[in-house]
Amino acid sequence: MPVLINYYSNEGDYGQAVQYAEDYVFYSPLLIDHHVTYAETLTLTATYYLAHGDYEKAEIYAKEMLLVPGNLAELAKEKNTDYNVNHKPDLTMNDALMDAYIEAGNIMEKIEYGR
């Protein structure tokens, strides 16, 4: 995990950690590892807020995590053109992204149950 994301996560400033994770994806959107870092940061943040009873913030971050697969599919569709067919980025859901996706779904269930 990049230094600033890790630092702010450890300091409990999850909003700032998510912002840096978003930037991480923004500046290198074709690297799946950056999407994994973003997804894990969103899930960690949602888990933190859920544990502290802030269901609204937990829901925001969990929902954002649930959008990641669609965002990846859209990005892959945009980048898989005739021009760059020899350099297709691997933007498929891997195990780490799937784990984060499942955890976000679990968080959403806990939020619904807790309300």
Using one digit for the tens of pLDDT, what is the confidence trace for 83-102? 656 667 788 899 999 999 99
User: Per residue, what are the HEC states of 28-86?
Assistant: CCCCHHHHHHHHHHHHHHHHHHHHCCCHHHHHHHHHHHHCHHHHHHHHHHHHCCCCCHH
Domain count, the chain: 1
Spans of the chain, pLDDT less than 50: none
Do the beta carbons of residue 90 and residue 32 sit within 8 Å?
Answer: yes
Q: How far is CA 63 from CA 11, 43, 84, 89, 105, in A?
A: 23, 10, 32, 25, 8
Angle at which helices 32-51 and 14-27 pack, to 10 degrees?
Answer: 160
- Residue 48: closest CA among 18, 4, 3, 93: 18
C-alpha torsion 42→45→49→54, nearest 10: -40
The reported pLDDT for the residue numbered 95 is 95
Q: Both tokens of residue 42?
A: 């969103």
Domain hosting 15: range is 3-114
The reported pLDDT for the residue numbered 79 is 75
pTM score of the predicted model? 0.90
